[in-house]
Structures are given as structure tokens and as C-alpha cells.
Amino acid sequence: MLRRTGDVKLVGEIYQLGYRAAGIRKGEKDWVDYVNAAITQAKTDGLIGKWVREHVEADLQQAVIDSWDIAKAPKS
């Protein structure tokens, strides 16, 4: 079971557009599945778009939203 500890927080402004990744050790398929499901759920719930509209300049918003599309992420 995962607990919220308050140890993780969003920092700063966008410094570069691009794909982001969570650091997960090789072989931890359950964690990969969990992170992917959390991102998918956040998108489904409209949270990604909401956060982007709140924190990203208007002319960059669509590019940032597109960068959260798992299907467009590099495979390597």
C-alpha cells in the first residue's frame, strides 16, 4: 500500500519541454504499471489539463499537455 508522505512536491517552472519519466528500477513492472495508470487516470479526470492551465503560459499549454501522452513517448 502506498502512503502519501509529503516528501514529493512540484518544484519550479518549466525549464524545457519534452518527455518526462519516473525513475524505476528494471524489473519493477508493478511500479511501471502503477505510474502509467496514475498518469492515465489524471488525464481522464482532467487533472493534467487543469494543472497545465494553472501553471503554464497559454502559448505553451498544448505542447505540455501533448507531452503527457504516453502513446507518444519514446520507446527507448
Buried b (16+ CB within 10 A) or exposed e, 31-45: eeeeeeeebeeeeee
What's the pLDDT at 56? 87
What's the pLDDT at 14? 56
Give the C-alpha separation, 58 to 66, whole Å.
14
Residue-wise pLDDT for 16-61, tens only, equals: 555 566 678 889 999 889 988 988 898 899 998 898 899 888 998 8
Average pLDDT of the segment spanning 61-72 = 81
pLDDT at 76 over 90: no
Q: Which of residues 69 and 40 earns the better pLDDT score? A: 40
Residue-wise pLDDT for 7-18, tens only, equals: 766 666 655 555
